[in-house]
Amino acid sequence: METKSSTILDHKQIQHKIKRIAYQIYETNVDEKEIVLAGIADNGYVFANKIKAILEKISDIRVTLCKVSMDKKAPHNTVTTDLSPEAYRNKSLILADDVLNSGTALIYGVKHFLDVPLKQFKTAVLVNRNHKKYPIKADFKGISLSTSLKEHITVQFGEEDIAILN
């Protein structure tokens, strides 16, 4: 049986969504001197890096990028970051991922950062699906989709970024 897939966001649309999210993050943090963008590896980190590039063009805010690594199938005790807790203590932090599906990756990412006092904590996703099993929401989102549980969203970052529904 062949699975049918369709493009839900093309490169230009993704670039537009990322730019809009960057402006929203800037508006929320306009009085901050520094923010931390923590991207969940792999695609969430690529997404965070793209937001960082735009933020650096449109604002004077210093943006520190943080890579969040975890085993997404068993995230309970596997969350690590490439920054020490001192690097994000009492700062505004945005946790980013490409797709908010069940909320598992974001909720365990949030849990990891709660051990350190933060000035503000927000989440950003490119695609927000409505199948969460945890009470987590995206503060900044590119697009919200109502999909079936059997459908899968894939974001491919590269020369021509695309988001695919299959």
**pLDDT tens digits, residue range 18-39?**
999 999 999 999 999 999 999 9
Span 11-165: which CATH code?
Answer: 3.40.50.2020
Max Cα-Cα span within the chain: 54
Nearest CA to 20 among 50, 62, 60, 61? 50
57-78: pLDDT as tens digits: 999 999 999 999 999 888 887 8
What pLDDT sits at residue 17?
96
> Average pLDDT over the chain, rounded to whole?
90
Q: Of 74-78, 100-104, 149-153, give the range with the top mean pLDDT.
A: 100-104
User: What's the pTM?
Assistant: 0.92
Task: Reply yes or no on whether the pLDDT at 160 is more than 80.
Answer: yes
Categorize the per-residue pLDDT at 165 as very low, low, confident or very high, splitting at 50, 70 and 90: low
Most confident of 21-35, 100-114, 124-138: 21-35
Which of these ranges, 24-33, 67-76, 82-91, 128-137, has the smallest mean pLDDT?
Answer: 128-137
**Strand positions, DSSP E, the chain:** 6-9, 34-40, 62-69, 80-81, 92-100, 120-129, 140-145, 153-156, 162-165
Q: How confident is the model at residue 1 (pLDDT cuts 50, 70, 90)?
A: very low
Model confidence at 3: pLDDT above 70: no
